[in-house]
Structure 1
Amino acid sequence: MLKNALLCLLLTMSYHPLMAAPDFVSIKSQAQLADDTYLEGNTLEPRLKEQGQTLLHQSLIPLSQVSYFVSRANDVQTIAVRGTANLENAMLDLDLELKPDNILNIKLHQGFGSGAKAVYDDAKPFLNKDQPIHLTGHSLGGAIAVILAMYLQRDGYEIEQVTTFGQPKVTNVTGAKAFAHLPLVRVVTANDIVPLVPPISPMQIMDLDIFWHMGEEVILLGNKTFTQTNGMKSMLRATKFTTAIPNDQNLIAHKMTTYLNLIETLQSAPQEMPYKTDVSLFGFSLD
């Protein structure tokens, strides 16, 4: 039964065309903005000015304690969402159930969905439909940024780019297919386990209702190297989560400072390595 479910899952997921080379200059800019969301006090506005950005709005959602800001540069709006920073944020992370979203008509991670809906309602008065929008965020912030992009795109806003760092999964197979067109780049580090959660459940596989990533995945390997993947190969990285016990190396790999340092090394002469799953299904290698 499980074998049949996996085969069906493979057949339902389309494979993506050859991926373009990542723009690490743009990724660095978005990483800096994602890191800016952790600033406290009055330090945000001058930091944004140093990056050529004008702060339009900054807000802390009372119930969830999700923090985000809206900025603009060269007629492009940016929404940057902070990652997990307190107990209220952690409760959003832990609300793992997939539930139907009446706005998008797909299933969403309940905690991330509620956080994104609150930001969506709060941010709309400060957005201009005549200007494209970039969205970014780290960890929980990345998950909320992806769902927020879905809401805004459905509402007629032009979503030009979504770039996330260490982002966990937000929807299931059907939801990922429905928003496969979203211009999403998910940047991860090789040892960051947060992008691998929620882990795959055998019961969800039976129902073809597992959490599923969308977008292109750029994996930072260190030593000026990176690799890329998407679709089924990207999802199979999550199977490694079940065979490894989280340790200090995983925590360091998830820090925004680690992302910034690795991205800095890729600003000149980055080297792409072929992605290998080292996984076979029913006798067939996925490599």
Structure 2
Amino acid sequence: MFRIFIFSLLLLSPFLSQKAFSVQDFKVIKQAALLSSASYVKPNLMDEQLKRIHYSLVHQAELPGSAVSYYFARSATGLQQLAFRGTSNLENVLVDLDVQLQLDKGLGIQLHQGFSSAAKAVYEDVLPYLDKTKPVQTTGHSLGGAIAVIVGMYLQREGFQLEQIITFGQPKVTNVYGAGVFEDLPLIRVVTPTDIVPLVPPLSPMQLQNLDIYWHNGIEIILVAERQYSLIQGLKSMMRATKFFSTLPSEANVQAHQMGTYLALIESNQESTQQMPYKTGLSLFGLTID
């Protein structure tokens, strides 16, 4: 059964990839990275930082009983922006992940329990400030990226003009079925090659048994090196994880997850950039992933 399941994913993945292969605007990605980075700034300095990138702070909150912090801002054209703070502590991300999936009745899909609870609280808090007549974008780094994706799902479901979700080093939030339901979510996930947070929660034997595998939505941009990137999606995104979890995280993995690392690599792509093919070097049941 599992072999048939994986084989069907192998057949589907090339078509998913072809849909995703469009020219990526690294200036837009840089703007999202700066907006995401601003979520780490102290509240009294946030408005000043946002004005430098042509946004005005409307609302900022750290929700009681959780470490979830976010802000809501508007541009001069009325574009609404939500940004969610993550964590730069890789140990906390890997140790504190509650990997249990839970049904979200409103969305009709299974979601990571911890991320789902945080996203619901944020959505209810920001709802009074949102305007359905104006476009809205979400962004976030690390755990903040996971919340940005789920809040984006709520916005899409409720008929808001969801323009774009761009995340950085974001962990997985749903399973294969959930990713399929929200296949048209306008999501770009930016990752670095050795950041392991986008690969968690990892595969577990129980998930394999129940065919309930954590799965990423959207297009994945891998910042391969300065002025170079790769685009992958679907099965390739999942299979990248097999290269990492045989060893403990190193200092290089910690550095690869830092927002500063993302900003530096994105900056290098502002003047010239080259798309590189991404090769996993892996195969399943004799079929190459590449």
TM range (shorter): over 0.9
Paired residue for 2:110? 107
Q: Return the letter of the residue paired with 1:200.
A: L
Moved more, 110-119 or 235-244: 235-244
Deviations 1:41-83 (CA, angstroms, capped at 9, x unpaired): 4110011111100111111111112110111112210000000
Give secondary structure in 1 for the equivalent of 2:121: helix
Q: Does structure 2 retain, via aligned residues, the 8 Å contact 1:140–1:167?
A: yes
Question: After superposition, where does 1:39-188 map in structure 2 within 5 Å?
Answer: 39-73=41-75, 74-84=77-87, 93-188=96-191
Give secondary structure in 2 for the equivalent of 1:120: helix
Paired residue for 2:38? 36
1: distance between equivalents of 2:102 and 2:150? 13
Q: Does structure 2 retain, via aligned residues, the 8 Å contact 1:137–1:164?
A: yes
Q: Does structure 1 retain, via aligned residues, the 8 Å contact 2:145–2:169?
A: yes
Moved more, 229-238 or 24-33: 229-238
Q: C-alpha displacement at 1:164, in angstroms?
A: 0.1
Q: C-alpha displacement at 1:166, in angstroms?
A: 0.1
1: distance between equivalents of 2:212 and 2:14? 16
Moved more, 176-185 or 3-12: 3-12
Q: Using a 3 Å threshold, how does the CA distance of structure 1 residues 108 and 150 change in structure 2: closer, same or farther? A: same
Deviating beyond 4 angstroms after TM superposition, the runs of 4 or more aligned structure 1 residues are 8-14, 89-93
Deviations 1:113-152 (CA, angstroms, capped at 9, x unpaired): 0000000000000110000101000000000000000011
Q: Using a 3 Å threshold, how does the CA distance of structure 1 residues 13 and 21 change in structure 2: closer, same or farther? A: closer
1: distance between equivalents of 2:245 and 2:207? 15
Match of 2:208 among 183, 189, 205: 205
1: distance between equivalents of 2:93 and 2:240? 24
Deviations 1:74-125 (CA, angstroms, capped at 9, x unpaired): 2210000000279xx8699522100101111100000000000000000000
1: distance between equivalents of 2:79 and 2:289? 39
Paired residue for 1:20? 22
RMSD: 1.9
Q: Does structure 1 retain, via aligned residues, the 8 Å contact 2:97–2:201?
A: no
Q: Does structure 2 retain, via aligned residues, the 8 Å contact 1:92–1:115?
A: no
2: distance between equivalents of 1:14 and 1:104? 27
Identity of aligned residues (%): 51
Alignment coverage as a number of residue pairs = 285
Match of 2:285 among 241, 259, 282: 282
Moved more, 139-148 or 238-247: 238-247
Provide the TM-score with structure 2 as the length reference.
Answer: 0.93
Q: Return the letter of the residue paired with 1:218.
A: I
Q: Return the letter of the residue paired with 2:205.
A: P
Give secondary structure in 1 for the equivalent of 2:51: helix
Q: Does structure 1 retain, via aligned residues, the 8 Å contact 2:100–2:112?
A: yes
Q: Does structure 2 retain, via aligned residues, the 8 Å contact 1:91–1:111?
A: no
Q: Does structure 2 retain, via aligned residues, the 8 Å contact 1:67–1:81?
A: yes
2: distance between equivalents of 1:50 and 1:267? 18
Give secondary structure in 2 for the equivalent of 1:104: coil
Give secondary structure in 1 for the equivalent of 2:170: coil
Q: Does structure 2 retain, via aligned residues, the 8 Å contact 1:236–1:277?
A: yes
2: distance between equivalents of 1:150 and 1:4? 29
